[in-house]
Amino acid sequence: MFLSFQADCPKAECFESLPAMELAEQITLLDHIVFRSIPYEEFLGLGWMKVDKTERTPYIMKTTQHFNDMSNLVASQIMTHTDVGSRANSIEKWVAVADICRCLNNYNGVLEITSALNRSAIYRLKKTWAKVSKQVE
C-alpha cells in the first residue's frame, strides 16, 4: 500500500496548516509502510541493478518511486508560493520537518526533503534563500 499526500490534499493550504511535527510523523509513517513492505528476498542478488529490475524487485522500485514522489511533493509545495516571503516560510517549515524526521531517526525522510531543497528550481531562488533564517541554512 503506497499512499500519496497529493491524492488526499492537493492544495498548498493543507500543508501550510499542518504543524511540522504532524508532517514529520506522517512522512515517517509512510516511509515505514513502504520499507516494511519489501520482502527480504528482494535484497538478494542485486536484482535492483538488473535489466529486469521492475519484475525482480518491484517493492524496492516502489521505494524509489515513493522517494521521488515525496521529493516532488516538497518541491512543488515550495514552488506554489508566488511571493518570496511565503516561499521562504515554506522552506523554513520543510527544514523544520526534516529536522524532526532526523529526531525520529527517519533519515530517508530527511533525504527526501533535502533532495527537494537541492533541486535547481529551489536552490537557485536567491532572493528566497536570502529571506530564510540563517539558523535554518
- pLDDT attached to residue 4: 46
Mean pLDDT estimate for the chain? 88
* Residue 46 confidence (pLDDT) above 70: yes
Of 13, 16, 29, residue with least CA distance to 94:
16
The answer on pLDDT for 1 being more than 90 is no
Tens-digit pLDDT profile for residues 47-70:
888 899 888 899 999 999 999 999
**The pLDDT of residue 13:** 59
Condensed to tens digits (0 to 9), the pLDDT of residues 94-119 reads 999 999 999 999 999 999 999 999 99
Question: Structural domain boundaries of the chain?
Answer: 18-131
107 membership: H or E segment, kind and range: helix 107-117
CB atoms closer than 10 angstroms to residue 36: 8
Q: Write out the three cell numbers for 56.
A: 525482480
- Which helix (H) or strand (E) segment is 1 a member of? none
Distance, in Å, from the CA atom of 43 to the CA atom of 95, rounded to the nearest integer, reads: 31
pLDDT given for residue 6 in this prediction? 47
pTM, two decimal places? 0.83
What average pLDDT score do residues 7-32 get?
Answer: 81
Q: How far apart are CA 63 and CA 66, in angstroms?
A: 5
CATH architecture, range 18-131: Orthogonal Bundle (1.10)
Of 2-6, 17-21, 87-91, the range with the lowest mean pLDDT is: 2-6
Give the up-direction half-sphere exposure of residue 55: CA atoms within 13 A in the CB hemisphere. 3
Report the Cα 67 to chain-centroid distance in Å: 6
Tell me which amino acid residue 107 is: Y
DSSP 132: S
pLDDT of residue 136: 56
- For the cut 60, the answer to whether the pLDDT of residue 9 exceeds it is no
